[in-house]
Amino acid sequence: MLTDTQCRTAKPKEKLYRLNDFNGLYLEVKPNGKKAWRYRFKLNGKSSMFALGEYPTVKLAEAREKCEQARKQVADGVSPTQARQLDKIRKVNDASNTFELIAKEWLQLKDWAEITKTRRLDMLERVVFPAIGKLPIREITPHHILKILQETAKRGAPTVAAEARRTISSVFELAVATLRADSDPVWPVRKALPANKTQHKQALNPQQIGKLLSCFDNSRGSYQVNYCMWLMWWTLARPAEATEAEWTEFDLDNALWTIPAARMKARKGQLSVAMLKS
């Protein structure tokens, strides 16, 4: 077995020579004075050599550790050289698979209205992308996620923090399913913030409803806006459902308004609204 002194004091000769350690590890000394660690192994009946780095950058103890790792790969029937090449390819792929790229891919897969996608992207660009958008998704840790959630909550936006948590987790669900991430780093910190209490808007009392309807009649807006407000009141339709309505959706003979699924919030099945005949 070699010693540190032997490695350090080995002098170059006219021809390349080797100083053997053990288990196939040796130090190669070149005529130009450079020294490099090599591991010689046999796999499937074929002898091969695996480079472990140059001396003294890689010390004797480190060379032995690298050699042992390579020996385990060979014992498992894996070529260390091919494993290194695959690892380089994986690192290149990981570097290109940033969180932002996969988040936008996830967003495009959602069957949402464009306005919903735009709002979610806006949240990502304001809250999440500045912190982890450019990071390879495999490098993102629970620490990164916790920092985003805590800083968002401290700004007085607990609802946004909760939305960010759900969105990040969904993006990682896609990344794991497509083998671009190993796990979801949101899971360990999912309960780090207090539960966000939903505050429902207070319902109007009869007097307030009467005042609201009176405002409709006295509105100085265009007649289109005025009629749209009445349509929403009569049918309890959402703003997007009413403002984007088309005449082809109305069956005036049967007093029926059919709202396409694509314009409904859940986007699941069309909705038919019965209207009173006057």
- Quick one: pLDDT at residue 222? 84
- Start-end ranges of CATH 3.30.160.390 in the chain? 4-88
Q: Of the candidates 57, 51, 13, 59, which has an alpha carbon nearest to the alpha carbon of residue 33?
A: 13
Q: What confidence score (pLDDT) does residue 265 get?
A: 65
> What angle is formed at CA 180 by the lines to CA 86 and CA 98, rounded to 5 degrees?
105
Lowest mean pLDDT among 21-25, 31-35, 171-175, 248-252: 248-252
Q: What distance in Å separates the CA atoms of residue 252 and residue 56, rounded to the nearest whole number?
A: 88
pLDDT at 89: 77
Right CATH number for 4-88 from 3.90.1150.10, 2.60.120.10, 3.40.50.150, 3.30.160.390?
3.30.160.390
Architecture of domain 99-189: Orthogonal Bundle (1.10)
Residue range 127-161, pLDDT digits in tens: 999 999 999 999 999 999 999 999 999 998 899 99
Per the model's pLDDT, the better-predicted residue between 62 and 217 turns out to be 62
Q: Which are the contacts of 110, defined by CB distance < 8 A and separation ≥ 6?
A: 116, 117
Return d(Cα 2, Cα 75) in angstroms, integer.
24
Helices 99-109, 114-123: axis angle to 10 degrees equals 160
Flag whether the pTM goes above 0.85.
no
Decide if pLDDT at 67 tops 90.
yes
The mean pLDDT of the chain is: 89
Instruction: Give the Cα separation of 169 and 160 in Å (integer).
Output: 14
DSSP 68-101: HHHHHHHHTT--HHHHHHHHHHHHHHHHH-BHHH
What's the whole-number mean pLDDT along residues 65-81?
Answer: 93
CA atoms of 138 and 154, how far apart (whole Å): 27
pLDDT of the residue at 268: 57
Spatial distance between the Cα atoms of 261 and 252, rounded to a whole number of angstroms: 20
Higher pLDDT, 94 or 186: 186
Torsions phi, psi for 54 (to 5 deg): -95, 150
Helix (H, G, I), strand (E, B) or coil at 250: strand
Say which residues have a Cβ less than 8 Å from residue 116's Cβ, sequence separation at least 6: 110
Domain with CATH 1.10.150.130 in the chain: 99-189
Sheet strands (E) in the chain: 17-20, 25-29, 35-43, 46-55, 250-251, 256-259, 271-274
- The residue-averaged pLDDT of 74-81 equals 92
Residue 278 pLDDT greater than 60, yes or no? no
